[in-house]
Amino acid sequence: MRTSWADSVSNSAAEIAISDKNSLRRPTRSTYVPPHLRSGSISDLSGPVSGTNGGSRWTGSDGGGTKPELRRQGQGNSYATAGRDAAAGGGGGGGRNNRSGGWDRREREVNPFGNDDKIDDIKQNFSEQENSGINFDAYEDIPVEVSGENVPPPVNTFAEIDLGEILNQNIRRCKYVKPTPIQRHAIPIALAGKDLMACAQTGSGKTAAFCFPIISGIMREPYAQRSHVGRTVYPLGLILSPTRELSCQIHDEAKKFSYQTGVKVVVAYGGAPINQQLRELERGVDILVATPGRLVDLLERARVSLQAVRYLALDEADRMLDMGFEPQIRKIVEQMNMPNRGVRQTMLFSATFPREIQRLASDFLSNHIFLAVGRVGSSTDLIVQRVEYVLESDKRSHLMDLLHAQRENGNHGKVIRDYLVSLTLQLALTLVFVETKKGADSLEHWLCMNGFPSTTIHGDRTQQERELALRSFKSGKTPILVATDVAARGLDIPHVAHVVNFDLPNDIDDYVHRIGRTGRAGKTGLATAFFNESNLSLARPLAELMQEASQEVPAWLTHYASRARYGGNKNRRSGGRFGGSDFRREESIGKNLDYYSGGNSGNAYGGLVDISGGYAPGVTSAWD
């Protein structure tokens, strides 16, 4: 059995267990009405609703739960004006609608950029060459596939998007000079209020692609004040992710993006003391970033209600909707009073999107736009992939050889380069993936004994240990991290130069996410995999993947691939690159229907479009 599975399931199971225990123990409060039993809107509830208009604030002035694109009509002026006002106020305004929520957070808000807050300096020093970390050349000519109705055109610069001055300042503080391809396409779609299923390669900036529109949308909300009823809070935005560490990371990013906008972002995840999270929630929340287990707990305690959610984003959406998480997600989205699809705006993001998960995901979407940027489900060309035949019994000595070679090349440990000028730490970190939690501990111990400072992250460690391990790895104190699949998705750790698949996963998508911990944001990386007879089901998809990424495929792997039958369903790639094209299109073609021919005429992006190459509907895309 794969660890990735065991880990995520055991993590979420642990979170459910906590939640079950708590809900059983919790004394019934006489005043408490469980959210799912409340039939009315927030405004129907008696009790002190803090906020000018209670339930109607998120529905807009019509009070009727209109779609964002409808709501936004005619708001352009106030939006722009408020942005100007905020800018005139020195960049510290409470957003376009002065989202004070009854308290002034500006004084208390910690600057997530540290002291590096001299916007004018940043502006002055800005140039594409020196900034950003993103090598945009690496993303030139990237194939883009969009399908759906009335797709807004992409933008080339952040300036073309009306995000408002404060958000733009934060983008500059992040040193983002221009949008990445996924951001160029996804942000205008999301700002138009469309539901979105977006696939883009690992490390290509998906987090900002869903955070910017949510923050901007909340800043546009006509009724600015944050509401709560008793101790229940009503976030407007909900971002779900599969692991605690990823939720923390998204939270950190979102806090940077929303700095001084007045939009408050709170994180809730299992394994950490819930009381602290409850206290944070009580101070107010506009965007809640959460893992599903802890969110269910908060919902059952009625400390969070989803009734006001206007924006729902699932990061690593294919993982969130696979067998491990799907029941929990369905419960959260369908049984906890969240506004229906079509009323809320739903955005699903991942680097991989198998077709069967796309089909399942459409239950949560309304007339969505499908967007694929880059070779979906594939690795980026920035990652050099090597696969080596290594017997189980030889794996440790083989790893040792790799690490020694790396050390000799001066590629390991901490090298301080140009300290006085840039204070940049140039780290070369190695991430080693193994199958089991026990295997992780044992390999880490062995590496340490052999003079390679290492640490480990997996589901059997306490959250405190996990966070400590991650910090120690990031800082270079322990430049080797031995991990199970708990670290496979989403984590954005600078300077990971080498990913070693000591044990290969069973699923090619997991491989894609694992190696995607390196070669991020335009930087190059190396991924080495140890392959042997126990990985036969992966031979074919791995060989295909490497070939497509212009990697050297060893002859022995090609041989195994030609003999191999596909293992599980998920590794079957016929009919679409890892679900890299819109399943609606594939199905309509299968049924000989022209799904996109109706209702799209007159819109430049109304049908299936390859923006880089410009092929017509029905023509196979660059990676099919």
Ligand X SMILES: Nc1ncnc2c1ncn2[C@@H]1O[C@H](COP(=O)(O)OP(=O)(O)OP(=O)(O)O)[C@@H](O)[C@H]1O
Under the rule (CB under 6 A), what is the footprint of ligand X?
A: 132-134, 176, 179-180, 183, 200, 202-208, 351, 490, 492, 516, 520-521
In the complex with ligand X, the residue whose CB is nearer, 176 or 311, is 176
Name the residue nearer to ligand X (CB basis): 198 or 403.
198
Which amino acid does the sequence have at 31?
T
Residue 22 Cβ vs ligand X, minimum distance, rounded to whole Å:
31
Identity (one letter) of the amino acid at 530? F
- CB nearer to ligand X: pick between 303 and 517: 517
> What CA–CA distance (Å, rounded) separates 341 from 358?
16
Please, which residues have CB within 8 angstroms of residue 562's CB and are 6 or more apart in sequence? none
CA pair distance 265, 271, nearest whole angstrom: 19
3-state SS class at 578: helix
- The distance of closest approach from Cβ of residue 125 to ligand X in the complex, given in angstroms and rounded to an integer, is 15
Nearer to ligand X, 53 or 518 (CB): 518
Residues whose CB is less than 8 angstroms from the CB of residue 301 and which lie 6 or more positions away in sequence, other chains included: 22, 23, 26
The least CB distance from residue 560 to ligand X, in Å, is 28
**Are the CB atoms for 535 and 504 separated by under 8 Å?**
yes
| CB of 191 closer than 8 Å to CB of 110 | no
Distance of closest approach, residue 490 Cβ to ligand X, in angstroms: 4
Cα distances (Å, whole numbers) of residue 353 to 64, 374, 513: 33, 13, 12
Give residues with Cβ within 8 angstroms of 322, minimum separation 6.
357
| Contact between residue 288 and residue 232 where contact means Cβ atoms under 8 Å apart | no
| Closer by beta carbon to ligand X, 229 or else 496 | 496
What single string gives the DSSP state of each residue in 478-546?
S-EEEE-GGGTSS---TTEEEEEESS--SSHHHHHHHHTTSS-TT--EEEEEEE-GGGHHHHHHHHHHH
**What is the nearest approach in angstroms of ligand X to the Cβ of residue 353?**
12
Least gap, CB of 417 to ligand X (angstroms)? 19
Least separation in angstroms between residue 561's CB and ligand X is 26
What is d(CA 452, CA 469) in angstroms, rounded to the nearest whole number? 15
CB 540 within 8 A of CB 568: no
CB of 206 vs ligand X, minimal distance in Å: 3
Residue nearer to ligand X on the CB measure, 412 or 517: 517
> Which residue number, 23 or 424, has a Cβ lying nearer to ligand X?
424
Question: Could you tell me the smallest distance in angstroms from the CB atom of residue 176 to ligand X?
Answer: 4
- Complex with ligand X: residue 101 or 203, whichever CB lies closer: 203
**In angstroms, what is the minimal distance from the CB of 268 to ligand X?**
20
Which distant-in-sequence residues (6+ apart) come within 8 Å of 208 by Cβ?
Answer: 174, 176, 180, 183, 253, 257
C-beta closer to ligand X: residue 159 or 391 = 159
Separation of alpha carbons 305 and 35, rounded Å: 6
Q: Which is nearer to ligand X, 144 or 336 (CB)?
A: 144
Q: Is 342 left (phi over 0), alpha (psi -120 to 50) or beta?
A: left
